[in-house]
Amino acid sequence: MGDARGFVFTKLRYYGILKYRIICSLWMKVSLWMKGIVAGKGIKFYGLPVTVRMTGSRITIGNKCSFRSDYSSNLVGVNRKCIITTLRRGAEVTIGEGSGFSGTVIAAAGSIRIGNNVLCGANTTITDYDWHGIEPYRRNKPADPKPVVIKDNVWLGLNTVVLKGVTIGKNAVIGANSVVTKDIPENVIAAGNPCRVLRILDTEKKSEKE
């Protein structure tokens, strides 16, 4: 074995994270149930996220999702815990199956719907309202939400921010540090501030020989 120290360190890290994940997942299973949050099977938690469900609102998390709230669990650089919260009565957050989140904030005053197999890179933010009124005389008053929909197989890059009233089509890839303020169609790569379409994705599977 050419790199015994590297091999041993890698194995120790793997089993340490595995043990940590099991403990966190067991705790969160109880915590989510106590808060009235509907959670599917096989959800993995690396570290403990912040979850807040407002009275009369709904949070639903599908099967086999993963939440990374510990900086050591994603070496690209997670700098905060995952936060999932509803902020008003009647608000809803719905997350499909097999989606992954790293230091992601999901905050709904109205409705946020996230599809299946969505990847949210480190420190992404998804919110359906502005938190404060835009006009100076409304600055300290609640803003009005607009629904956010992120469809299946979307990938949000590192530090992406998705704002109110946005729909992101299936399979879309949003580049790192983007701010999404308008709808993004399916099967595209988009990036920037404000985010705009850069090119169409090739969605046809090709053989390795090609």
Confidence of residue 8 (pLDDT cuts 50, 70, 90): confident
Kindly indicate the confidence band of residue 73, based on its pLDDT and cuts at 50, 70 and 90.
confident
Q: Which of 98, 68, 96 lies closest to 83, judged by CA?
A: 68
pLDDT of 204 > 80? The answer is no
Residue 1, pLDDT above cutoff 60: no
In the predicted model, what is the mean pLDDT of residues 77-104? Answer: 96
Q: Which of 82, 12, 6, 15 is nearest to 47 (CA)?
A: 82
The stretch 15-42 carries a mean pLDDT of 93
Known catalytic membership, residue 132? yes
Q: Is the pLDDT of residue 192 over 80?
A: yes
Looking at per-residue pLDDT, the higher value among 13 and 116 belongs to 116
Where do the domains of the chain lie? 4-200
* Residue-level pLDDT at 206: 64
Of 2-16, 25-39, 138-152, the range with the highest mean pLDDT is 25-39
Q: What is the CATH number of domain 4-200?
A: 2.160.10.10
Characterize 33-57 residue by residue with b for buried, 16 or more Cβ atoms within 10 angstroms of its Cβ, and e for exposed: eeeebebeeebbbbbbbebebbeeb
Q: Which two tokens stand for residue 65?
A: 């999702």
Length of the chain: 210
The mean per-residue pLDDT over the stretch 128-157 comes to 91
Cα–Cα distance measured from residue 210 to residue 207, given in angstroms and rounded to the nearest whole number: 6
- How confident is the model at residue 203, as a pLDDT? 76
Among residues 11, 132, 138, 182, the one annotated as catalytic is 132
Give the residue among 108, 100, 186 at the shortest CA–CA distance from 144.
Answer: 108
Percent of the chain with pLDDT over 70: 97
